[in-house]
Amino acid sequence: MDEEKQVSRRGFLSRTIWAIGGLITAGFGIPAIAYIIGPALQRDAAQNLIRLGAASKVELGIPTLFKVTVQRKTGWIVNEEELSIYVRTDDGRNFTAMSNVCTHLGCRVRWVADRKEFFCPCHNGVFDKDGNVISGPPPRPLNRYEVKVENGQLSIVGG
Amino acid sequence: MTRVANWLDERLAWRRVWEAIFLRRVPKVNWFYTLGSATLFVALNQIVTGILLTIYYVPTPDHAYDSVQYITTEVPAGWLIRGLHHWGASALIVLVVLHMLRVILGGAYKYPREITWMTGVVLLIVSLGFGFTGYLLPWDQKAYWATTVGTRIAGTAPVIGDSMLRILRGGEDLTAVTLARFFGVHVWILPVALLTLIGIHLYLVIRIGISAVPKRKE
Please indicate whether, in this complex, the C-beta atoms of B76 and A38 are within 8 angstroms of each other.
yes
Write down the pLDDT at residue A23.
97
Residues B53-82 have a mean pLDDT of 97
Mean pLDDT, rounded, for A62-73: 86
Among chain A residues, the shortest Cα distance to B72 is held by A35
Answer yes or no: is pLDDT of B181 > 70.
yes
From residue B76, alpha-carbon distances to A32, A35, B84, B216 in Å are 9, 5, 14, 55
A55 and A128 fall within a common domain: yes
| pLDDT tens per residue, range B11-62 | 999 999 999 998 898 999 999 999 999 999 999 999 999 999 999 999 999 9
Could you tell me if A151 and A86 lie in one domain? yes
> Are B77 and A38 an interchain contact pair (Cβ–Cβ within 8 Å)?
yes
HEC string for chain A: CCCCCCCCHHHHHHHHHHHHHHHHHHHHHHHHHHHHHHHHHCCCCCCCEEEEEEHHHCCECCCEEEEEEEEEEECCEEEEEEEEEEEEECCCCCEEEEECECCCCCCECEEECCCCEEEECCCCEEECCCCCEEECCCCCCCCEEEEEEECCEEEEECC
**Pair (A117, A82) in one structural domain:** yes
Name, of A65-69, A114-118, B170-174, the range with top average pLDDT. B170-174
Residue A52 — pLDDT band, cuts 50, 70, 90? confident
Task: Give the one of A28, A38, A75 whose C-beta lies nearest to B48's C-beta.
Answer: A28
Lowest mean pLDDT among A92-106, B95-109, B195-209: A92-106
Residues A53 and A36 in one domain: no
Option in A28, A39, A77 nearest B75 (CB) = A39
Q: Span B173-194, mean pLDDT? A: 97
Instruction: Give the closest of A31, A76, A77 to B80, CB-based.
Output: A31
pLDDT at B88 over 90: yes
Looking at the fold, whether A95 and A29 belong to one and the same domain comes out as no
pLDDT band at A2 (very low <50, low <70, confident <90, very high): low
- The distance of B28 to chain A (nearest Cα, Å) reads 17
Share of chain B above pLDDT 90, in %: 94
For residues B114-140, give the mean pLDDT: 97
Among A31, A39, A76, whose Cβ lies nearest the Cβ of B66?
A76
In chain B, which among 77-96 make CB contacts under 8 A with chain A?
77-78, 80-81
For all residues of chain B together, what is the average pLDDT?
Answer: 96
Strands of A49-54's sheet in order across: A49-54, A153-157, A144-150, A95-99, A77-89, A64-74
CB contact under 8 A, B67 and A75: yes
Looking at the structure, tell me whether residues A27 and A67 fall in a common domain.
no
Same domain membership, residue A54 and residue A37: no
Interface of B with A in 12-71 (CB under 8 A): 45, 48, 52, 55-56, 63, 66-67, 69-70
pLDDT for the residue numbered A111: 92
Domains and CATH numbers, chain B: 30-208 (1.20.810.10)
State whether A102 and A24 are in the same domain: no
Q: Are residues A129 and A152 in the same domain?
A: yes
In angstroms, what separates the C-alpha of B74 from chain A's closest C-alpha?
Answer: 9
Please tell me the predicted confidence (pLDDT) of residue A113.
87
Looking at the predicted structure, is the pLDDT value of residue A101 above 80? yes
**In a shared domain, residues A92 and A133:** yes
Whether residues A67 and A136 share a domain: the answer is yes
Enumerate residues 70 to 109 of chain A having a beta carbon within 8 A of any beta carbon in chain B. Answer: 75-77
Same domain? For A90 and A146 the reply is yes
Predicted pLDDT of residue B218: 54
Task: Please give the torsion angle defined by the CA atoms of residues B130, B134, B135 and B138, in that order, rounded to the nearest 10 degrees.
Answer: -170
Q: Which residues contact B201 (CB under 8 A, 6 or more apart)?
A: B116, B119, B120, B123
Q: What is the pLDDT of residue A159?
A: 54
Best mutation target among A17, A35, A78, A79 (most B Cβ atoms within 10 Å) is A35
Given a contact cutoff of 8 angstroms between Cβ atoms, the answer to whether A22 and A137 are in contact is no
pLDDT for residue A140 is more than 80: yes
pLDDT beyond 70 at A46: no
Contact B81 A39 (CB under 8 A): no
Here the CATH number for the domain that contains residue A100 is: 2.102.10.10
What's the total number of domains in chain A?
Answer: 2
| Contact: B81, A34; criterion CB under 8 Å | no
**A-to-B residue pairs, Cβ atoms closer than 8 angstroms:** 39
Range(s) of the domain holding residue A30: 1-42
Highest-confidence segment of A82-96, B77-91, B203-217 = B77-91
> Is residue B115 within 8 Å of B200, Cβ to Cβ?
yes
Start-to-end Cα distance in chain B: 49
Residues forming a β-bridge with A96: A88
- In this structure, is the dihedral angle defined by the CA atoms of residues A60, A64, A105 and A146, taken in order, positive or negative? negative
* Least confident stretch, A66-80, B98-112, B116-130, B144-158: A66-80
What is the per-residue pLDDT for A44? 61
Residue A47 pLDDT: 62
Position A4 pLDDT exceeds 80: no
Q: How confident is the prediction for chain A on average, in pLDDT?
A: 87
- Model pLDDT, residue B73: 95
Taking the C-alpha atoms of residue B161 and residue A82, their distance in angstroms, rounded to an integer, is 53
Chain A residue numbers with beta carbons less than 8 Å from the beta carbon of B52 are 32, 35-36
DSSP 8-state assignment for residue B96: H
Nearest CA in chain B to A34: B76
pLDDT attached to residue A90: 86
